[in-house]
Amino acid sequence: MKEKIERINLIEEDEMRGKGRRPSPIEYLVDEGGCWRVLNRVHIGYPGKEMPVMRYRGVQIQVARFMWSVVAGKALSRTARLYSTCGHAWCVNPEHKEMKEMNDVLE
C-alpha cells in the first residue's frame, strides 16, 4: 500500500520567498509511531542523525523548531533546545519534542 503524503501550508506568501513567490508546502510522511518525516527539505547532520532544515526570513533553521513554534504555538528562545522523545532526529512532530532551556541542561 502506498503511503499518503501529508502537506502543511503554514506561511503567508510574502513571508518566506519574497513578493510574488509562493512558498512550497512542507511535505511529510507519518509513520506507524506517529513520527513525521519531511520529504521536500534538505537534511543536514551526521549519518543517522540528519535533521531537515529550511530558510525562514533569510535564515536557515531546523524544520522541527519551525513546526514547534507555529504548529504547537510555543515560542522558542535562542537558548532553547528541542530534544526528541521518539529517538529520531529527523522527526518534526511537535508532540515528539521536548523543550529545554540551556540553563536547565547545564545545571
Query: Each residue of 20-64: pLDDT tens digit?
Result: 556 677 888 888 888 988 888 888 888 878 888 887 777 788 888
Q: What residues contact 56, with CB distance under 8 A and at least 6 apart?
A: 11, 15, 16, 66
Give percent of the chain above pLDDT 70.
Answer: 74
DSSP-derived 3-state class of residue 59: strand
**23 forms bridges with which residues in the sheet?**
none
Q: What residues contact 39, with CB distance under 8 A and at least 6 apart?
A: 5, 27, 28, 29
Provide the pairing of β-strand 26-30 with 36-38. Answer: antiparallel
Burial 21-45 (b: 16+ CB within 10 A, else e): eebeebebeeeeeebbbbeebeeee
Q: Where are the alpha helices (DSSP H) in the chain?
A: 13-16, 63-71, 102-106
Q: Report d(CA 52, CA 61) in Å as an integer.
A: 9
Model confidence at 67: pLDDT above 80: yes
